[in-house]
Amino acid sequence: MFMNALDSSIVNVALPEIQRDLHFTQAGLTWVVDAFLITFGSMLLMAGRLGDLVGRKHVFLSGVVLFTASSVLCGIAPDQAVLITGRFLQGAGGALSASVIVAIIVTEFPDPGDRARALSAYIFVAVGGGSIGLLVGGVITQVLSWHWIFFINVPVGVLTFVFGRILIDENVGLGVRGGVDIAGSLLVTAALMVGIYAIVTAGEEGWGSDHTMGFGALALILLTSFFLLEAKRANPIMPLRILRIRSLTSSSIVRGFLATGMFSTFFLAPSISKRCSATSPSRPVSLSCPCPCPSR
């Protein structure tokens, strides 16, 4: 989780250098962030269900391997296509690993006191990874190059895989014969992927454009079909009864707003700082932007 959180913030600091080195347009640069979010957000539910069926340890370690290998691909990326492909794969690896972490903690720590301490450590690491990424990303980019913000994931990934194989107990999976909601998995993954794609391309295409409205409508159709299907399934990938849990739905909405604000700020802050530095290079730059830059 530290690696996932670190990567979500460390990349944003290096965006100006990535843009200059690989000759991204401003619209194209958003795909360095969006490629990760599309696969990560759309695959979480399916990856969590996969952990129930084939074993959470297998899914977790597979995600770690994929994330680490794709980090190397991003680090050696010579052009835009390779970097964006690597970011797509990173999102998939992040979804596989992150989707089963809490379930692993709950299984490994049956005692309520131990479980509370373990979950607290997990949250501390997740929050710390995002904060450290902002600082470390700037230092690495300035001292070495933006390529190394991806290579930093390699030792973390290797150690996680080694200790994960030794320390994590595998749960007995339900097995694919126990009921795989393939249609539901495909529908929800497609709906989320299309919906996220519509949102992340809206800035370039326009919110009211045929492109955005068309993909948005398709996402709603797929999502509606998913809910209708889940209501009829005996073993659905997402039992609809969980939506009646008020604490779950309300906290999910709040976390959605939190993630939206956080990731948008991550993307905008480097551009604001860069513009302020260009306007007044002799003055220290902060996110409050005290210099008379054009953004004010």
The most confident of the ranges 37-46, 61-70, 114-123, 267-276 is 61-70
pLDDT: is 77 or 44 the higher one? 77
Per-residue model confidence (pLDDT) at position 3: 78
pLDDT: is 77 or 52 the higher one? 77
The band of 224, judged by pLDDT with boundaries at 50, 70 and 90, is very high
Determine the Cα–Cα distance for residues 240 and 227; give it in Å rounded to an integer. Answer: 8
Global pTM exceeds 0.95 = no
DSSP track, 80-135:
HHHHHHHHHHHHHHHHHHHTTHHHHHHHH--SHHHHHHHHHHHHHHHHHHHHHHHH
